[in-house]
Amino acid sequence: MATPKLNKELYNNITRLKLLNATTSDPKFVLEKSPFKEDNDEEETAASATPKDILIIGRIFPESEIFKEGAFQIEMKLTPNFPFDPPEVRFLTQIYHPNVAEDGKFCHELLVKEAKYSSKVALVDVVKAVIQYIDKPNLEHPMRANVGCEYVENRSEFNRKALECVRQHALPRN
C-alpha cells in the first residue's frame, strides 16, 4: 500500500463496491465501511501508506431459498501487500454454512494465493465469489466438515438449522 498507484487501485476497487446495491446490482452488496472518506477530494481520501491491514465492511444479499431471508455482514481484510496478496474474508453475521467456520472465516479458492488468486482479482469479484458459495456451497472443501456432511446426507435438517440461524442472526434486507 505504500505507493500512490496502489492507493489509486484500492480507491478504484472501493469505488466499484460503492456502486453496488441491495436490489439491482450483481452482486448484491452494500458497502458500510472503507478506509476512504466520503468526500470526493482524492488527496484526502488516499489510504494510509503505513503498513497496516485495511478493513472493508459491507452486507451481502444471497439469493438461495434459505439465505435470501436475510443480509449478512462481511469483513474483507486487506494486507499492506494488496493486491498482490488476497483479502481475508470473514462473516461478522453468524451463519450456518459448510463454507464458513464457526469464527466466521470464509474460504474460497479465489482467495488462496497458491490457487486461483491473482492481483487482477477485483474486490467486486471477491464479493461475487462469497455470494456464489453461500448460494451453492462447495462441499469438496468445507470449513465445517460436519455441516457439509449434514448438507449432503440430511438436507432437511441442514435447511432447518440454517433457516433458524438466518431468522435469529441475519440482518434485515432493507
Catalytic residue annotation: 107
Distances (CA, A) of 6 to 13, 83, 86, 96: 10, 8, 14, 36
Q: Is 60 helix (H, G, I), strand (E, B) or coil?
A: strand
Query: How open is the CA angle 57-94-33, to the nearest 5 degrees?
Result: 10
Within 3-135, strands assigned E span 29-33, 54-60, 72-78, 88-91, 105-106
Query: How open is the CA angle 134-149-129, to the nearest 5 degrees?
Result: 20
DSSP structure class, residue 71: B
